[in-house]
Amino acid sequence: MNADWPELSDLLLDTDLDTLARKPVSRGAVRAVLRRHGMRTAERILDGIPGGEVLDAATVDGILVRAHCELQRLSYEFRNGQRLLQLLAPMLEVLRAKLPQRPLRIVDIGCGMGFVLRWLAAYGALGDDVELLGCDFNPTLIANAEKLAREEGLRCKFRVANAFTLEQQAHVFLSTGVIHHFRGEALTGFFRSQASVGAAAMLHCDIKASWAAPLGSWIFHQARMREPLARHDGVLSAVRAHPCEVLLSASREGGSPLRFALFDGKPSLLPILRTMNTLVGVRAEFAEPFRERLGPLSARLEPFS
């Protein structure tokens, strides 16, 4: 595996970014990409997907839903809701003090079935002046996220939408396990899009790149996942995880005028102690107040610049 390999889940979905309509995906086209990269395991997984030359959208969605269910189990185990909350709560305190607009709108980019937002709605105690909105291009994942939130009476919403073209301004953008999907100019553009719509802050949590990350990811995906695609893409995600300097450079280039720093970004001899890191972006005037409100956790936040 190498960092240039595309994730299979990204190849199985093709969305028109203007209309958000789903485009048919040809098995042959996906296979050609996989062969070009020498991704034999992914090719076997593709061969195992039932159907003809054009991949059946419902079948692909079924795989993605199962993969997301398993991913949620892993997110629970790694306490990703809590992981984001420890940064989001002090961030909201700062925004409440500095911004007049209400509600404070938090938008989860590529939310999938919305685990993090639903967790925040259930356990985050973020306050009545906070609105949680999850965006994803996949209608099936969003329909499930809505259904789950409704069933459990959670105060969060989900939309099939481009998170950067919403009619109402997002104050905080967040994501979990999303940024490794973007590389090069697309990564810079990801941050540019958020800055250009006037975000006050962003929190992007992802696997921390280290020598141990692919091995650790393999162990957990073998132990916890059943869906072959989830196992494959999970390990590849760790391989694709961006080194700290790449994240900071891309965010500072694209996300200006916001200031950026990594939480848990410091390299450590034993990377198993910190398996994920979070890229924090804030408007310059919020940087110091945010650090103050973090309290003891601020020791794990590198300087903003």
Partner 1 sequence: MTLLLLGVLAFIDGTLCGFRAAAGRNPRLFLWNYYAASMRRGALVSVFTIVLFLGLGLVLRAFGGELVWASMTAAAAKLVFVYGIYATLVVAALGLYLSSSFDFGVLASVLVLGPFTLLRPVVILAGAAWVAATSDTLAAAGMAVSAGVVMANFERILTLGRPPWSGLEGHSR
Binding region for partner 1 (CB under 8 A)? 58, 61-62, 64-66, 68-70, 72-74, 77-79, 82-83, 86, 113, 115, 118-119, 122, 140, 143-144, 147-148, 151-152, 154, 216, 219-220, 222-226, 272-273, 275
For residue 8, the minimal CB distance to partner 1 (Å) is: 17
Whether 303 contacts 261, CB under 8 Å? yes
Over its C-alpha atoms, the chain yields an Rg (Å, rounded) of 19
For residue 265, the minimal CB distance to partner 1 (Å) is: 16
Backbone angles phi, psi at 95, to 5 degrees: -65, -35
Which residue, 3 or 143, is less far from partner 1 as judged by CB? 143
Please give the Cα distance from 247 to 245 (Å, whole number). 5
Which residue, 78 or 304, is less far from partner 1 as judged by CB? 78
CA end-to-end span of the chain, whole Å? Answer: 33
Which residue, 15 or 86, is less far from partner 1 as judged by CB? 86
Which residue, 193 or 237, is less far from partner 1 as judged by CB? 237
- Dihedral over Cα of 245, 209, 113, 82: its sign: negative
For residue 272, the minimal CB distance to partner 1 (Å) is: 5
For residue 275, the minimal CB distance to partner 1 (Å) is: 6
- Dihedral over Cα of 102, 254, 137, 142: its sign: negative
DSSP string, 64-112: HHHHHHHHHHHHHHTTHHHHHHHHHHHHHHHHHHH---SSEEEEEET-T
Please give the Cα distance from 111 to 175 (Å, whole number). 7
Q: Which residue has the tokens 């945010």?
A: 290
Which residue, 83 or 181, is less far from partner 1 as judged by CB? 83
For residue 100, the minimal CB distance to partner 1 (Å) is: 33
For residue 199, the minimal CB distance to partner 1 (Å) is: 26
Which residue, 208 or 242, is less far from partner 1 as judged by CB? 208
For residue 22, the minimal CB distance to partner 1 (Å) is: 13
HSE (side-chain half, CA atoms, 13 Å) at 139: 9
Which residue, 110 or 189, is less far from partner 1 as judged by CB? 110
Please give the Cα distance from 21 to 139 (Å, whole number). 10
Please give the Cα distance from 79 to 182 (Å, whole number). 24
| SS3 call for 44 | helix
Which residue, 140 or 251, is less far from partner 1 as judged by CB? 140
For residue 165, the minimal CB distance to partner 1 (Å) is: 25
